[in-house]
Chain A
Amino acid sequence: DGGITQSPKYLFRKEGQNVTLSCEQNLNHDAMYWYRQDPGQGLRLIYYSQIVNDFQKGDIAEGYSVSREKKESFPLTVTSAQKNPTAFYLCASSGITSGANVLTFGAGSRLTVL
Chain B
Amino acid sequence: AQTVTQSQPEMSVQEAETVTLSCTYDTSENNYYLFWYKQPPSRQMILVIRQEAYKQQNATENRFSVNFQKAAKSFSLKISDSQLGDTAMYFCAFMKTNAGKSTFGDGTTLTVKP
- Residues of A at the B interface (CB closer than 8 Å) are 31, 33, 35, 40-45, 48, 50, 58, 88, 90, 92, 96, 98-103, 105, 107-108
Question: Which residue of chain A lies nearest to B107 when distances are taken between CB atoms in the complex?
Answer: A42
Count contacts on B: residues with CB < 8 A to the other chain: 27
Give chain B's interface residues, CB within 8 Å of chain A. 6, 9, 31, 33, 35, 37, 42-47, 50, 52, 91, 95, 97-107
* B99: A residues at CB distance < 8 A: 101
Cα separation A96 to B95 with both chains bound (whole Å): 12
Q: Chain B binding site: helix, strand, loop or mixed by DSSP?
A: loop
Query: A29 to chain B: closest CB distance in Å?
Result: 12
Give the complex CA separation of A40 and B99 in angstroms: 26
Instruction: Please determine whether B97 and A103 come into contact, CB atoms closer than 8 angstroms.
Output: no
**B46 closest partner in A (C-beta):** A105
B43: A residues at CB distance < 8 A? 88, 107-108
Contact present for B100 and A42 (CB under 8 Å): no
Cα distance, A102 to B9, chains bound together (Å): 24
Q: Given known contacts A41-B106, A105-B44, A105-B46, is B101 in contact with A100 (CB within 8 Å)?
A: no
Contact B97–A100 (Cβ < 8 Å):
yes
Indicate if the CB atoms of A101 and B101 lie closer than 8 Å: yes
A-B contact sample (11 more), CB < 8 A, given A58-B101, A98-B52? A88-B43, A92-B45, A99-B31, A99-B97, A100-B95, A101-B100, A102-B35, A103-B37, A105-B44, A105-B45, A108-B43
Chain B residues with Cβ below 8 Å from A35 are 104
